[in-house]
Amino acid sequence: MRLHKLKASEPSGTYLVESPVTEADILLMARQLANLRLRRGRALTSPKDVFSHLQALLADYEHEVFALLLLDSRHRVIAFQELFRGTLDGANVYPREIVKAALEHNAAAMVLVHNHPSGNPEPSQADRTLTHRVKEALDLVGGRTLDHIVVGREGCYRWWNRATCKESADEATTDLRCRFSVCRNSRWLLGSSGASGSNGPVSAAAGRRAAGLLDLQSAAGV
C-alpha cells in the first residue's frame, strides 16, 4: 500500500512511503503509538512495554513534564494526563491538582511519572520530597500511589524498587531486560486488585478533606 506520509495508526504490514521519513516523523510516530498503548481500558501487564511507552512520550522533551497515569481498581488505564510543564531542570508540581485529577477521573490508583531532560533518570532530593508529599495527599483520599517513574534517554528509575536501569553503551538500542527484571514481580503491573490499600475510587468527601489539609499546609509553608 502507498502512503504519502508515515503514519502510526495504520494496520501492521508493508507500506511504500512516497515522501522522505525524517527523525521528527519517527519520534512523532513513536509518541502516537505510545498514546495508543496507554489508551483507556488497557490493562498494564508488561513492565517492558510500560517503560518503553513512557520513554517514547516523555524522554525527548527539552523541558520537564510531570504526568499522571490514572488507573481503575483492576489497574486498567483510565487516562494518561500531563499535568505540569516546567523548564530544563525543574517543574512546579502541586499535590492539590493531582488530588483533583484523581477525583475527576474517579481513579483508584495512580502512577506518577516525570522526565529528566538531561537524560539521567536518577532522582533529586526535590523529587524524593515531592514523591512523599504526593503520596500522603493521595492516601488521604483513599487513592493508591503505585509508583513514581522517572524517565530519561538513558533509562528509567522506578521509585518503590529504588532501582535504575540504564541503556548499555555497547548496544544500539535500549536494553529493557534489566527493567523487566526489576519490575516483573510488581503486582500493580499484573492487573491485580489484591494490592494493599483501598481498591475503590477516591471519594469526593475525602477529596475535600485532603484539599483543606493541603490549603493549611500551603498556608503554613509546608
Q: What is the pLDDT of residues 145-188, one digit of tens each?
A: 988 999 888 888 887 655 444 443 233 233 333 333 333 334 44
> Which are the contacts of 154, defined by CB distance < 8 A and separation ≥ 6?
119, 120, 121, 166, 167
Cell of 155: 533509562
Cα distance between residue 105 and residue 84, in whole Å: 17
61 band by pLDDT with thresholds 50, 70 and 90: confident
Residue among 88, 70, 76 nearest 145 (CA): 70
Residue among 189, 192, 193 nearest 179 (CA): 189
Q: Is the per-residue pLDDT at 219 higher than 70?
A: no
Torsion of CA 86, 64, 158, 134, to 10 degrees: 10
Cα distance between residue 73 and residue 195, in whole Å: 10
Average pLDDT value for residue range 199-207: 50
The answer to whether 53 and 45 have CB atoms below 8 angstroms apart is: no
What was the pLDDT predicted at 159? 77
User: Which residue would you say has higher pLDDT here, 63 or 198?
Assistant: 63
41 band by pLDDT with thresholds 50, 70 and 90: low
Indicate the average pLDDT of the chain: 68
Average pLDDT value for residue range 192-213: 44
Q: Model's pTM, two decimal places?
A: 0.62
